[in-house]
Every structure is written in C-alpha cells, then in structure tokens.
Amino acid sequence: NAGVTQTPKFRVLKTGQSMTLLCAQDMNHEYMYWYRQDPGMGLRLIHYSVGEGTTAKGEVPDGYNVSRLKKQNFLLGLESAAPSQTSVYFCASSYASAGTPYEQYFGPGTRLTVT
Amino acid sequence: EDKVVQSPLSLVVHEGDTVTLNCSYEVTNFRSLLWYKQEKKAPTFLFMLTSSGIEKKSGRLSSILDKKELFSILNITATQTGDSAVYLCAERDGGATNKLIFGTGTLLAVQP
C-alpha cells in the first residue's frame, strides 16, 4: 500500500502560469481533500470531494479548481498562479463518514513557489 | 465561525521532560477532536477523541478531552529528541463530509 501519494514534490511557477497537482490514494477511500499550509496559518481546506464526480468548496477555494474523475485520484488546478499561492499543498483522504468519524490520511505534500 | 486554538505556539524542552500541549475549540456542531504529529512531511494521526474524560494513550503520549470546557490536552512524558515536531489539533464537525478544522499547531523542540 502506497497510501496517499502526491506529484510533483516541488514546483516553481511564474506568475500567470498554470499547473495541476495530482493526488492518488490506494485505500479505496470515498473522501478526498486538498489543503494548503502556510506559516502561522495551520492547514486550511481548499476543496474536497465526497465521491467520484463530486467536489465542493472549502475554506479558501479562490484561484483553484478541482476534479475527481476517478475515485482514487483528486486533481488540484491553478489556472493562473499568483505569488499568494506559494505554499505547501497537502492532499488527504478518508473513509466515508455516515455518522462515524474517521481520521484523514495525508500525502507527503507539494511545495509550490510562485515568482 | 468554528475555531481551533492551540497553545503554546512553540516550546523548547530537554530530553526527559514532560510536556502538555493545549487545544481549545469553539464549534457549532462538535463531533470529535483529532491530534496529528507533523515532522518534515505529512501529518500522521495520533488520537481521535469523542467522549469527555476518557484518556487515550499510546506509549508516552496521552490525550484527553473536556467537552464541557471545550478543550483537549496532549501529554508527552519522558520526551525524546524524536518527539520534536509540530503537533496539530483538529476538530471534526458534525456534518457527513468528515471535514477537519485545524489549529495553527505547537512547535515542540526537544533538546538532548
């Protein structure tokens, strides 16, 4: 089991460029999440998905789009990168939660710098 | 707006010391509280607490929840340099999405 994997691990973009971050999980989890982590801000939820084909906005969704075409993959897109999107991005996944709380499992992160 | 606050922001101790990390929360529909340890990379799960007064324990780490006073503590006894990390507290809301709201974390440095 690889768990949750993220590609790429590092990326440097120029302002205005676009890119897609890929998250994959092999635990058959229904739910997937994208967070960003900035110094002094903790982890903040960008978008999440409760199943294949469904996505929803989190706390800080502006400037990002997501897609969940396959259950095991969750893509995060930046259409026009801005320096404010310089951050470490974490993907996470968990079992479905019909009343039962489950922990989230995190990927190793992607460090993105926008110049 | 739901909120999770951790204290202290950072802490430096010596090996063998005991530390207590604090997490308080203000939420409208509390479901459970989680603790994670984050070293260089991904946060790794430590504990999930749903009931007041029941201590969860794993080796030298333990945690307890007080739902009346809206806080949790994480204790680490006989600290080791390998305990150096950021400790994150998160609240899981009562919805079906399993979303977590994180605090900013406590940076613990254990010196030899």
* Distance to chain B for A45, nearest Cα, Å: 8
Whether the predicted pLDDT of B94 surpasses 90? no
The per-residue pLDDT of chain A, averaged, comes to: 93
Binary contact (A4, B96; C-beta < 8 A): no
What is the pLDDT, as a whole number, of residue B33? 93
User: Which residue of A104, A105, A110, A111 is the best one to mutate when testing the B interface, meaning the one whose CB has the most B CBs within 10 A?
Assistant: A104
Q: Is the pLDDT of residue A99 over 70?
A: no
Using an 8 Å CB-CB cutoff, list chain A residues near B50.
101
Is 90 exceeded by the pLDDT of residue B87? yes
Give the type of residue at B105.
G
pLDDT category at A97 given cuts 50, 70, 90 is: low
Q: Which residues contact A36 (CB under 8 A, 6 or more apart)?
A: A43, A44, A46, A60, A85, A87, A88, A89, A90
Judged by CB atoms closer than 8 Å, whether chains meet at A90 and B32 is answered as no
Upper half-sphere CA count for residue A12 (Cβ side, 13 Å): 1
